[in-house]
Amino acid sequence: MNKNKRYEILSRLRDNNPNPTTELEYGSPFQLLIAVLLSAQATDVGVNKATRKLFPAAPTAEDMLALGVDGIKDYIKTIGLFNSKAENAYKTCKTLVEEYSGEVPEDRAALEALPGVGRKTANVVLNTAFGWPTIAVDTHIFRVSNRTKLAPGKNVKEVEEKLIKVVPAEFKVDVHHWLILHGRYTCIARKPRCGSCVIEDLCEFKDKTSD
């Protein structure tokens, strides 16, 4: 894909959604970190349902630490892998309180050192909470990047590196959200909704649908 077509794709996605953000609900960088940690192999809808009760009860790292592992579990039992997620959330809160005065560090290495936090989670937090031009490649971004040929790659690391390389600076902060939402609602896995896609004429996917 040439850079002019890529620029037009990103321009249309921006025009269609000028101020994109995550669909996870949160009120602080700490709450975003916990929400993303809970979102692995779970839907944003499911996570929001749990955190609407969890966050009022424990809005800060200190409060969540006071709940204890079992207390956290009580709020997140509806989410998959809740046992290990509760453990990681507790350990993460402990580290934040002991090493960062309860605040979320604006630092990749520090974030990735937290229990249950990998590169993707760190990228989401750095991008959404702190405005870094990071791109967290999930299943939706991986699919859209490969289908459209915007930034094809064999694995998430390749796609992330390609996106960082080819996406112009003016789009970098928001491209993460545009591609997730596009993959979630339009370029869906089984039968993409090409008929209602704003970039259908620019997309290089060979098996387009009429829907």
Choosing from 49, 70, 91, 138, which is the catalytic residue? 138
Long-range contacts, stretch 146-151, CB < 8 angstroms, 24+ apart: 147/187, 147/192, 147/203, 147/205, 148/1, 148/9, 148/187, 148/199, 148/202, 148/203, 148/204, 148/205, 149/1, 149/203, 149/204, 149/205, 150/1, 150/6, 150/9, 150/179
Whether 93 has a binding-site annotation, put simply, is: no
| Residue 120 appears among annotated catalytic residues | yes
Choosing from 91, 120, 149, 191, which is the catalytic residue? 120
Tell me which residue has tokens 């999930």. Answer: 138
Closest CA to 211 of 183, 178, 187: 187
Whether 194 has a binding-site annotation, put simply, is: yes
Binding-site residues, please?
187, 194, 197, 203
Residues annotated within the binding site for [4Fe-4S] cluster are: 187, 194, 197, 203
Residues involved in catalysis: 120, 138
